[in-house]
Structure 1
Amino acid sequence: MEPCKIRLGRIHYINVDPIYYVFDQGHGPGWVEIVEAAPSVLNQMLLEGYLDVSPVSSIAYARHFAHWSLLPELSISSHGRVMSVILASRVPLKELQGKLILLSRESETSVALLRLCLEREGICAHLVREKLDSKEGLAKTAGAALVIGDTALQWGRNGLFPHTLDLGQYWSAWTARPFVYALWAVSDEALRKNPSGIAALVKVLKNSLKQGMDRMDFIAQHAGHKLGLPHGLMRRYFQGLSYDLGYKEQTGMLLFFERLYEKGLLEKAVPLKFVACSE
């Protein structure tokens, strides 16, 4: 008997392609409905009950853990350079004091990470959320821009912003720990109503990720065609990502939450609450 239908979110960036590989190949189960959107939109849709399961920003989980549980062993993380979360700047980092930094509206976790990095560097800048459409226009008005996802990969190859800070690389050099950008969460209401379906979805996603990792060269080639970027660059990008949520990733994420709590950017300490799935 098929599980009840599950509404599953999907970030509209290439970094999730390995986890959704079976769906892209037309082999996903019919009881899963995919809804694709920006990370910030998916966060809100899960919170408001329009989705049952979705990748969410790690900071969104920290704010709403009372209502969500985490799917085990799934994340988007990096143990160093990430390439898709960058501060693209017209001037060196230290010269951003007092300057305007534009922030992607699609990101929450990256904005919080940038705040920590700037504070550590003693930089007080004007941070403004903006729709980052034209890099040419931004280069004339802003000192820097926080860019994420596919846009960051594309912008990293232009010369309009000659200085780039990879926030994943900065965090790992600072803390010697990985950084977790996104997690897969289920609303506690959906888990209560359909525990067997959620358990089945966990198995589907893990199997899809395994197949995707085995076909990484194909995924990188497809991503390169989609974004107009070289195959070799795409391979390096995917090789720099981790999709696990093991001990190292969890300790890195908890450290991030602790730093935010210490700075008053989170209201309370954050526990990690996982779905219990039998194999």
Structure 2
Amino acid sequence: MTGNPSILRVGRIPYANLLPIFHGLGTAGMPEGVSFVDGHPSELNRKLRDGELDLAPSSSIEYAVRPDRYLLCPDISISSKRRVMSVLLLSNGPLRQLPPDPIAVTGNSDTSITLLEILLRESLGRANLLVRTELPAREALRRYPAHLVIGDEAIRAAVDGVAPHVTDLGEWWWRETGKPFVFALWIAARSAWEDRRDLLSRFSAALLESKRSAQAAIRRGEYPWGGPDWIPPDFRDAYWRGLSYDLGEEAEGLSLFYGLAAKIGRIPAAPPLRFFEIDQGIDVVKYGIMPGGETMIDKSMKIEDVLRRYPQTIPVFNRFAIDCGQCQLSEYENLEHGAKVHGIDLAALLRELNESLAVKG
């Protein structure tokens, strides 16, 4: 056990994309015993890795590098539906005319750097050296042909017109894949689940409630959390509407990202997504079942999609004698039809598939 077991140490990133979530936590209330630790994404990754944090909105690549050390809070992420507007490649020339010279990248990100490397290789066939720098954007562009910036620094660079050419990495990913991109996950140390389970569960329930409150406000076009005055209101409106805090269909983009990260050698293999349980009184997130009874895996999902998004379900299919690797229809067949064809109890199959998505204590 590390740290005070009565205190839950939660990372907090000082970026506009998390203002709605932390505003909700501050106004709706959360359990006692929570201590916030501020830091940029790469800094929080390190603290989580070193046992200095219990839970943090950390880079999605951090989970993939060390999946055995972490669990995920279900149904929440920081993702872009298409444009992200705060992860930008600034360049002196058009994207497709970038020279083979080194590209400057922020020292505050891990996921965005891996994403840029993937897009350069897969889309442009480039293998530019990526050099971390703390230089301001204007200075970096005097030394390098392009510079990757994230967070409020990226928003400010876009607002101020720092570079003649700006490429939004979320939109670039969407053009190449047609999928959302998951930049961050709420990652918990397994030791926190073992030592601070009740407090972690109660805080995470408050976190999900804050998410729902923020989403409702965004749908109404209301932003009670404000935001930096230097960001134009129209920009802020487009920015928050372009974000997703869910982890449903977003998981498809995450699985694809992990597969490509493994392909270029940045992680050993695409990891299974393992979630912890959240006790919310009458609502329980358990075995992949979300508040209100909605399951992460339902009968309408195609078998192939389930396998791709949740590889940890393979043993369940095997137990039910569904050999999906040999079945030519798995790409098209949904779970309901598959259960009927194989003479399987659909409710039992769905229950065990969803049970495989969470880690019980």
TM-score (norm 1): 0.92
Q: May I ask how many residue pairs the two structures share in their alignment?
A: 273
Match of 2:85 in 1: 83
Q: Give the alignment partner of residue 219 of structure 1, picking from 220, 223, 244.
A: 223
Give me the whole-angstrom Cα distance separating, in 2, the residues matched to 1:205 and 1:89: 37
Q: CA distance change for structure 1 residues 270 and 221 in 2, over 3 Å: closer, same or farther?
A: closer
CA RMSD of aligned residues (A): 1.8
More strand by share: 1
Q: Give the alignment partner of residue 132 of structure 2, picking from 129, 133, 143.
A: 129
| Offset of residue 66 of structure 1 | 0.5
Matches within 5 A, 1:55-204: 55-120=57-122, 121-133=124-136, 135-204=137-206
SS at match of 2:20: coil
Give me the whole-angstrom Cα distance separating, in 2, the residues matched to 1:97 and 1:270: 34
Whether contact under 8 Å (1:97, 1:123) holds in the other structure is no
Alignment of 1:272 with 2:276, yes or no, is no
AA matched with 2:227: A
Match of 1:13 in 2: 15
Deviations 1:196-255 (A, max 9, x none): 211111111111222333444553772142xx1111110110000000011x11111011
Greater RCO between the two (CA within 8 Å, min separation 6)?
1
Give me the whole-angstrom Cα distance separating, in 1, the residues matched to 2:152 and 2:239: 11
Stretch deviating more after TM superposition (102-111 or 135-144): 135-144
Give me the whole-angstrom Cα distance separating, in 1, the residues matched to 2:86 and 2:244: 13
SS at match of 1:44: helix
Match of 2:322 in 1: none
Stretch deviating more after TM superposition (10-19 or 93-102): 93-102
Larger Rg: 2
Whether contact under 8 Å (2:19, 2:225) holds in the other structure is no
Give me the whole-angstrom Cα distance separating, in 1, the residues matched to 2:209 and 2:6: 20
Deviations 1:136-184 (A, max 9, x none): 3223211110010111111012334111111111111111111000000
| Offset of residue 47 of structure 1 | 1.1
Whether contact under 8 Å (1:86, 1:166) holds in the other structure is yes
| Offset of residue 24 of structure 1 | 4.1
Match of 2:263 in 1: 262
Deviations 1:29-85 (A, max 9, x none): 331111110000101111111111111100000011110000001100012111011
AA matched with 1:98: P
| Offset of residue 25 of structure 1 | 4.0
Give me the whole-angstrom Cα distance separating, in 1, the residues matched to 2:212 and 2:178: 27
Give me the whole-angstrom Cα distance separating, in 2, the residues matched to 1:250 and 1:214: 22
Give me the whole-angstrom Cα distance separating, in 2, the residues matched to 1:158 and 1:22: 30
Give me the whole-angstrom Cα distance separating, in 2, the residues matched to 1:136 and 1:59: 28
Whether contact under 8 Å (2:29, 2:206) holds in the other structure is no
Whether contact under 8 Å (2:25, 2:206) holds in the other structure is no
Q: CA distance change for structure 1 residues 242 and 26 in 2, over 3 Å: closer, same or farther?
A: closer
Stretch deviating more after TM superposition (208-217 or 157-166): 208-217
Structure 1's unaligned 5+ residue stretches are none
Give me the whole-angstrom Cα distance separating, in 2, the residues matched to 1:107 and 1:229: 22
Q: CA distance change for structure 1 residues 220 and 88 in 2, over 3 Å: closer, same or farther?
A: farther
Match of 2:295 in 1: none
AA matched with 1:252: G
Match of 2:253 in 1: 252
Give me the whole-angstrom Cα distance separating, in 1, the residues matched to 2:159 and 2:23: 27
